[in-house]
Amino acid sequence: MLHAGVGLSTQRDTRQAALEATQVALAQAGNSTADFALVFATTAHGANYPLLLRMVKEATQARDVVGCSAGGVLTTEREVERAPAVAVLVVRADTLSSRRFFVPQLRGRAFEVGQEVGEAVRPHLGAANLLVVLPDTYNFHPLPFFAGLARTVPHVPAVGGGASEDGTIGETFQFCGDTVSNDAVSGVLLSGHFSHTIAVTQACQPISPIHTITKVQRNVILEIDGRPAFTVFAEIVRQPLIDDLRRAATFLFVGLPIDPERQHLTPGEYVVRNIIGFDPHQGGIVVAADIRPGQQMVFTLRDGNGARADLKRALETQVQYWQGKRPGFGLYFNCVGRGSGLYGFPDLDTAYIKQYLGEFPLIGFFTGCEIAPVRQQLALHQYSGVLILVGETVIH
SS (H, E, C) 91-160: EEECCEEEEEEEEECCCCCHHHHHHHHHHHHHHHCCCEEEEEEEEEHHHCCHHHHHHHHHHHCCCCCEEE
Average pLDDT value for the chain: 94
Which residues are CB-contacts of 355 (< 8 A; sequence separation ≥ 6)?
none
Predicted confidence (pLDDT) per residue in 298-349, tens digit: 999 999 999 999 999 999 999 999 988 899 999 999 999 999 999 999 999 9
Mean pLDDT over 188-215 rounds to 95
Q: Give the residue among 279, 69, 322 at the shortest CA–CA distance from 180.
A: 69
At 18-74, the pLDDT tens digits run 999 999 999 999 999 999 999 999 999 999 999 999 999 999 999 999 999 999 999
Reduced to 3 states, what is the DSSP secondary structure of residue 325?
Answer: coil
**Distance, CA of 136 to CA of 163 (rounded, Å):** 5
In this predicted structure, the answer to whether residue 280 has a pLDDT above a threshold of 80 is no
| Segment 86-110 mean pLDDT | 97
What mean pLDDT is predicted for residues 199-222?
Answer: 93
Q: What's the average model confidence in pLDDT over 284-305?
A: 92
Percentage of the chain with pLDDT > 90?
84
Beta bridge partners of 38: 66, 89
The answer to whether residue 261 scores a pLDDT higher than 80 is: no
Closest to 311 measured CA to CA, from 348, 363, 258: 348
Identify the residue with better confidence: 147 or 242.
Answer: 147
pLDDT mean over 128-139: 98
Rounded to whole angstroms, the Cα distance separating 353 from 233 reads: 35
**pTM for this structure?**
0.95
Q: C-alpha distances in angstroms, 94 versus 3, 280, 322?
A: 9, 60, 20
Give per-residue burial for 189-224: e unless 16+ CB within 10 Å, then b. bbbbebbbbbbbbbbbbbbbebbebbbbeebbbbbb
pLDDT for 290 equals: 86
Calpha distance 162→134 (Å, rounded): 6
Sign of CA dihedral 190, 192, 194, 195: positive
Residue 132 pLDDT grade (very low, low, confident, very high; cuts 50, 70, 90): very high
State how far the Cα of 149 lies from the Cα of 157, in Å rounded to an integer. 10
Say what percent of the chain tops pLDDT 70: 97
User: SS3 of 181, please?
Assistant: strand
Give the separation between CA 177 and CA 171, rounded to whole angstroms: 20
Quick one: how far is CA 240 from the chain centroid? Answer: 32
Question: Tens digit of pLDDT for each residue in 165-181?
Answer: 999 999 999 999 999 99
CA distance 42 to 137: 15
Which pLDDT score is estimated for 395?
65
Cis peptide before 361 (omega within 30 of 0): no
Other beta carbons within 10 Å of 178: 10
**Distance set, CA 79 to CA 74, 180, 213 (Å):** 4, 24, 39
Q: For CA atoms 37, 183, 124, 198, give the dihedral sign.
A: positive
By C-alpha distance, which of 131, 126, 128 is closest to 185? 131
Q: Tell me, what's the pLDDT at 396?
A: 56
Summarize the confidence of residues 105-115 as an average pLDDT.
Answer: 98
For residue 58, the tally of other CB atoms under 10 A from its CB is: 12
State the virtual CA torsion across 317, 319, 320, 321 in degrees, nearest 10.
90
Least confident of 2-11, 47-56, 77-86, 287-296: 287-296
Angle at 358 between CA 356 and CA 362, to 5 degrees: 100
Q: How far apart are CA 294 and CA 151, in angstroms?
A: 28
Dihedral of the alpha carbons of 326, 330, 335, 341, in degrees to the nearest 10 = 50
